[in-house]
């Protein structure tokens, strides 16, 4: 489950930047298609994340925080693409995205399932 989760969010991040690139080069159709594919990936990220939560016998506060920040990252991806499509300012969203992604990577890798990078 942790690998499916990793694959889903990694793919989502890559496709997010591809989508921004397509928008920049004026390829509106490709941009729209990627936005739809990304929405499917958001559901997969959340489903695998919830699956991981359900696999725990004891859900601590850190896991709840990890899940909440994960949802925050997804919200930022969706909102950045939405506002980019409308050609509105995305500066505040980008700042939030950077904070949230750093936080979620730290929390994810410091929790015991899967890769355990930051053993505190």
Write out the residues near ligand HEM by the rule CB under 6 A: 2, 5-6, 9, 12, 45-46, 49-50, 52-53, 63, 66-67, 70-71, 73-74, 104-105, 108-109, 111-115
State the DSSP code for 87. T
The string of DSSP codes covering 12-73 is: HHHHHHHHHHHHHTT-HHHHHHHHHHHHHHHHHHHHHHHHHHHT-SS--HHHHHHHHHHHHH
Minimum CB distance to ligand HEM, residue 80 (Å) = 13
When the beta carbons of 47 and 85 are compared against ligand HEM, the nearer one is 47
When the beta carbons of 26 and 54 are compared against ligand HEM, the nearer one is 54
């Amino acid at each position: 489950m942790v690998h499916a989760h990793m694959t889903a969010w990694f793919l989502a991040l890559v496709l997010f930047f591809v989508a921004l690139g397509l928008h920049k080069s004026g390829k509106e159709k490709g941009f729209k298609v990627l936005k739809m594919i990304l929405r499917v990936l958001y559901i997969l990220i959340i489903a695998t994340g919830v699956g991981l939560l359900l696999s725990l016998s004891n859900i601590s506060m850190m896991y709840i925080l990890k899940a909440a920040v994960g949802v925050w990252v997804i919200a930022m991806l969706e909102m950045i693409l939405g506002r980019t499509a409308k050609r509105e300012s995305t500066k505040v969203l980008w700042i939030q995205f950077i904070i949230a992604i750093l936080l979620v990577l730290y929390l994810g890798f410091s929790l015991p399932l899967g890769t355990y990078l930051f053993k505190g």
